[in-house]
Each structure stands twice: as structure tokens, then as C-alpha cells.
Structure 1
Amino acid sequence: MPPSNIAQTRAIHLQLLIDGQAIAGTQEVEVCTSNHQISGWFRLLLVLGQDASVSVARFSAMTDATAEILVGIAAAGLAAATADWQSLIAGPIDDIAIDMVAGTVQLTGRDFSARLIDTLSAESFPNQTASEIAQTLALRHGLTPVITATATPIGRYYQDGHSIFSLYQSSSTVTEWDLLCALAETEGYDLFVRNQSLLFAPPLSLTLPAVWQWMPGGTGSTTMTDLRMERSLALARDITVTVQSWNSRQQTMITQSVRSSVAGTLRSTKTATHAAASNYVLLRPNLTSDQALALATQTLADLSRHERVIIATMPGELSLSPRNLVSLQGTQSDFDQTYVVDEILRRISLRDGFVQTVRAVNTPLVQNP
């Protein structure tokens, strides 16, 4: 792996807060954030003896605690006070591992979506919109709601008394996060937690991508120190997604199908050819025809975007986040295109400095007019 010029011109500073209290002695940190509807997670290693408040006794008695990991970047040789600080993740600590021989404590945890993931719910929220439910659940767990309002009630049908989500859950108990994921799927919204805010909103409009330049001959530029490119041939062929939904209000089965072509476009199966394709079928209750079509379209886009995957390692930075765009250039192949950041794993240690590994997938398909 070639050395990075960036690492030689900057200083990386770490700060750990446990229940709001600054803790010294952090030796290394890993933080993972994702575009999937799953928790971000962290792992950190503390050295015993560098902070009087960090003791085996304290961690042996700990029952509930939160951690926040902040990183600051300053010019080489400058103090932490001059750094540009940013919170990488905040959330509950899940596990503690104490190594008495090494004199270290390992803490692992998740972001604050863990509070919803760990809470079961049998509520049906009759006659409320998706955004109202998201706001209720966010406030219930002390999270700041950053929510775009929705208009369609997703609770009970007056005519037959069925709750769309009690039917979706088959009348079973699910987690509050599962419920929010189902709402986000129905509305075509993004759902994630950033620090202590719950975001439930339409996907951000596409912005100018960051450029990742790979130098011919296999030598990485200062942008990347390692690059891996993958392609799924199963997803490279035509894909058909069919959504079937029994609408109890209309007493009818609604079916909507969409199909992608190898040319990278999306179309209704009414205008599609009948070449061999990979077929996916989703069953969802009580959808309208428009909702079923929207779900099929979104699912097809989600599948198609994993046809090409790039995994790049580079010096760590603070501007990139899941859902951002990146443009790969310089491979002199069909991999030179625009991708969406899917996952970022950031590692900070006293030995290796600040590096990040980014997984990005090709941009979703666009519906033909």
C-alpha cells in the first residue's frame, strides 16, 4: 500500500465521551455507517490507567451508558484546539470486554436507532400518517425528529376495520424500527439516525459527485490507497420485479410488474420483451395499484444498483457519508461511472492514523418517460 501524502500533513485527534464525560486513553476506534436501514456501530479500545475515572470497577458495575466518538483534523504539529471536530457516532454501549493482561477495555455499541430496534411494538396507529408515527416514535426515545410530512393515512380502513400494518405484521409483534422501515418502504423515504436525530424524508436530490481518480498502471493517486471492483452477472441481466397485493377494501388482487433491461433502463412489463430475466416476487397487503407500482420500481432500483460495487481504501476524511455520490475515473473500463456510497468503515488508531474503507454501488435506474 503506497504511503499517503495526506497523512503526513495533518494531525488526527480523538475524543471519547461516556455519558457526556470526556474520557482519556482511547487507543483505537472503528465506526461503521451504512445506507441500509440498520444501525451504525462502533468499537473502541481504551487503555486502563490513563484516566482516573476509567477503572475495572466502573465498567464491572455499568448497567446503562452511552458513548460519543468525535474526531478532529488539524494541520500537522498543531494542537487539538485548532482541529475541525466532528461527531462520528453516538449511541448506547452494548458490550464491554476487559483484558486484564493487556490492561485494556473494549467497548462496542450502536447508534441511537438501537433504542427502536430493541423495542417491541404491537401498536397499529390507526388513522395516522407515516410521518406522524415516525415523529411519535422519535420523541418517545428522546430523538430529535427531522421528518418530512406525509399526507396519506396508513392506519385503519373505515370500511372493514383492518389496520394495514397489523395485516403487514400478520398481527404479530415487531420492533419499532421494523415498523418505521415498512413505513419508509411504503413512502419511498430514507430512514436513518444521525447522532441524536431521526431522519425520515425523501432521498436527497443528487449532488455533484466526489471524484475518485485511479492512476493507470495500478498505482493509486492520493485519493485511494486500494481499490477493488466487483460485478454481479446475475444482476447484469434483465430483472423483473412483481408486487402482488390483496386489497381487502376492494376485494381484489393487485399485481404490478416492472422490468430492467441490460441497457440499464426501467420499464413496465407491458412494453418489455420476453427475454430471459431474473424474477423477484413481493407480497404486500392492502396496497393500491400506484403503491404496488412504486414498490416494484423502488425494489428494482435497489436490486440493480448492486450490479457494480467498488470498495476503496483511502485516508480518512469527514465530508463523505452514506448516500453521497462518487465518480470513479481512470480504470479505463465500464467501471468508470457514478456510484452511491453504501457503507463507510472508518478506523483511527495511534499506529495507523485515520483511514476509511468505502463501499459504493452503481446509481439506481431511472424510469423512462
Structure 2
Amino acid sequence: MSGCTELSIHTNNHFEPDQLSATLAISADTGSLTTWTDADPAVLIEARAGFIDATGTMSVKQIFYGELDRPTVALIERTVTIEARDLSRRLADTKTRENFSNYTVSNLIKTLAGRVKLTADVDNFPQKVGAFYQVDHDKISQDSYSHTTNLRDLTIWLAQQVGADFWVSGQTLHFKSAVDATKTTPYSLVYTPPGADNPYPSLPATSIQLARDLTIAKDVVLSMRIWDSKQKQATVLYYPKSGQSAVENGTSQEYVLPPRPGMSPAAALVYMQSQYQAIVLHERLVAVVCPGELVLDARSVIKLSGTGTTFDQSYYVDSIDRTWSVDSGFDESIQLKNHSTESQQSL
């Protein structure tokens, strides 16, 4: 992007598109102006970045690839501010009402990727999509996808059913098994407290903040009302299973989930488990501000150590915001969330 004076890129780990915002200087010729005032809706935006090493060589990598959402031209300042999202936006813009019951999850993801001109990087998920519909309500016309839905929402729903992660980078749709911190080599973030030889604390960051939500840290119980077609009656499920008595005794915090029509009790418990984990993941949050780098991504695991507290553990990246400007240089803000194995309840 020639003439760039400011750039920010937001990357996340919760099924949302990566986003880019940049300010570009516009040259004096009219052609440069009409490039943006009359921009084609399918304009592709790519951002690359790199550092010069000790040998004077620059290694450049792609840090964003997507389609232009909005160009805003400032005539007096002769600048244009562009906003873009990664190519997962194509999934959101494509609607369907089809019945995919006979597809395996992997094959369906490959099919959806092809429809929006993306290549597919898919782990093996052999489950039939129809297996996630209750036996008595296995027709699309009777389940939650009876109305028109977009391919992005459908892909997210499938990821939630099989415990997968989903994102788009470049022109590739990734549908992979979720990262397991116990099987991943984490990046290290070491805090050194002040001492006699060093009166100031040190760490490879300009700021680090530790936060804990004490409300969520209490015992959490989820409840959801479903229609059990086999028993022909409505019933309320609790997760963890022992949570009903805790709610009745007032010793736990109850979260009531909205009903899911057509969902079997077994499928409901799987869904409640995923929602339970999403809630307790935010028990501990770490915010890091550091000089810009190009190694971490939204699937990285970072291990904090040296604080001497229970915050010394591994964290998943929740989001990364990288900003660059002519005046301020290259900075980075990282939001981390913990993943406590103790908070995962078995069904």
C-alpha cells in the first residue's frame, strides 16, 4: 500500500473476521483520487511487513489479506482511510437454505469453501452433519436452519458441534481441531520482580495487566429447557449435572441458556459444555502491550511465569491489535485468556 501513514490490524480467536484500517496519502493526480472514489467492490487488500536482520536482509510476511469494505476520502487532507475484512466475509455474504444432512463435516466445509472461491485446510471430521439433528427432527425444515442462513454462521455452528476452530487466512479456509495448550510449545513471557540488583521489575513488554472476574470465578451452573421428544415432555438440563442442587441452595451462579428447538438431551449437554467453557475461560485475563512483532498469531499459546501467583500459567490469545504509524512506530496490544483444565467438566 503505497503512501501508507497509519495502519492497524485486529486479529482474534473467536470466529470473527480479521480487520484492517489504514490511512493512505493520495497523490495530486486525478487518477489516484478516482482509484478510491470509484473503487470496485471486490478490491483486494494485502498488507505485508518485515524486519531487517543483522545482515541487512528483510524477511517479509503477509499479515493481512482481505476485501475492501469502506474507503473514506478526505479531499482537503488528500488522504483515504480504508477499512477491510479478511475473506471470511464471503461466507457471511452467501446465503443458503439447503439440507446438508448427508455430508460429513469435513466434506461440507470443503464444499462451502469452494463456493466462495477459497481453498480448504480441513482436519478429518467424519461425523455426518445429520447426526447433529435430533432423530425426530432431522429435516432441515424443522431445525434451527429452516430459515435462510449464511455460510459463516453454518460453519461456526459446525465448529461448535465438533469442537473445531475456524478461521480464514489469505485465500484459505482453515477448519482444524482446537489448539490444546498441553500439546503446544508455548511462547514464554517471563516477569522478573524487582530486587537488590535491579530495583525495577522487568519483562519483555512495556505493560502487563492481570485481571480476574471474581463473579465468574465462583461456581457456575448452566441450565437450559429442551423438549425431549422421546419422553414427550419439556425438561430442564443442568451443567455440570450436579448443578441443580447448588442452584437450589444458592451456592452457585446460574446462567440460563435460550432454548434450542429440536436438540436432543445428549446434543444439548455437548452444547452446554462448550458454553460453560466459554464462560469460565474469562476467569483470568492478561493484557500485554509490547513492541510490535510478527511471530504471534491468534492461535498462539503464551506461558506467563515469574509473578509468583496463580496467574503463572498458559494462556490462549484472545486478540492481537498491531498498529503502525509514521509518528509512533510499531506497537502491539495482546489480550490473553486462560484455559483451566480444572474447569472442564466431563459429561
Equivalent pairs, count? 334
Q: Is the 8 A contact 1:254 1:289 kept in 2?
A: no
Distance 1:316 1:302 in 2: 28
Identity over aligned pairs, percent: 28
Structure 1 segments (4+ residues) deviating >6 Å:
156-159
Amino acid at match of 1:147: V
1:1-369, aligned counterparts within 5 Å? Answer: 16=1, 24-49=2-27, 55-64=32-41, 65-75=43-53, 78=56, 82-155=57-130, 162-163=138-139, 167-169=143-145, 171-206=146-181, 207-217=184-194, 221=202, 223-246=204-227, 248=229, 251=232, 256-259=237-240, 268-269=241-242, 276-282=251-257, 283-366=259-342, 367=344
TM-score (norm 1): 0.81
Greater fraction helix: 2
Distance 1:125 1:251 in 2: 27
Q: Is the 8 A contact 1:208 1:325 kept in 2?
A: yes
Task: Give SS of 1:185's match.
Answer: helix
Q: Is the 8 A contact 1:159 1:249 kept in 2?
A: no
Q: Is the 8 A contact 1:46 1:105 kept in 2?
A: yes
Deviations 1:56-110 (A, max 9, x none): 11111112201011111113793xxx21211111111000011122221111010
Distance 1:165 1:353 in 2: 54
Greater alpha carbon shift after TM alignment, 223-232 vs 213-222: 213-222
TM-score (norm 2): 0.86
Q: Is the 8 A contact 1:346 1:356 kept in 2?
A: yes
Q: Return the offset for 1:301.
A: 1.2
Amino acid at match of 2:221: T
Task: Give SS of 1:305's match.
Answer: helix
Greater alpha carbon shift after TM alignment, 109-118 vs 157-166: 157-166
Task: Give SS of 1:293's match.
Answer: helix
Give the CA RMSD over aligned residues: 2.9
Unpaired runs of 5+ residues, structure 1, are 1-15, 17-23, 260-267
Q: Is the 8 A contact 2:7 2:23 kept in 1?
A: yes
Distance 2:188 2:102 in 1: 46
Amino acid at match of 1:230: A
Task: Give SS of 2:191's match.
Answer: strand
User: Aligned in 2, Cα 1:270/1:74: closer, same or farther, shift over 3 Å?
Assistant: same
Unpaired runs of 5+ residues, structure 2, are none
Q: Return the offset for 1:248.
A: 4.8
Deviations 1:113-156 (A, max 9, x none): 11111222222323222222211111111111111232332238
Distance 2:339 2:141 in 1: 31
User: Aligned in 2, Cα 1:353/1:221: closer, same or farther, shift over 3 Å?
Assistant: farther
Task: Give SS of 1:295's match.
Answer: helix
Q: Is the 8 A contact 2:10 2:321 kept in 1?
A: yes
Q: Return the offset for 1:317.
A: 1.4
Q: Is the 8 A contact 1:247 1:285 kept in 2?
A: no
Deviations 1:34-67 (A, max 9, x none): 01111110001111229x8971111111122010
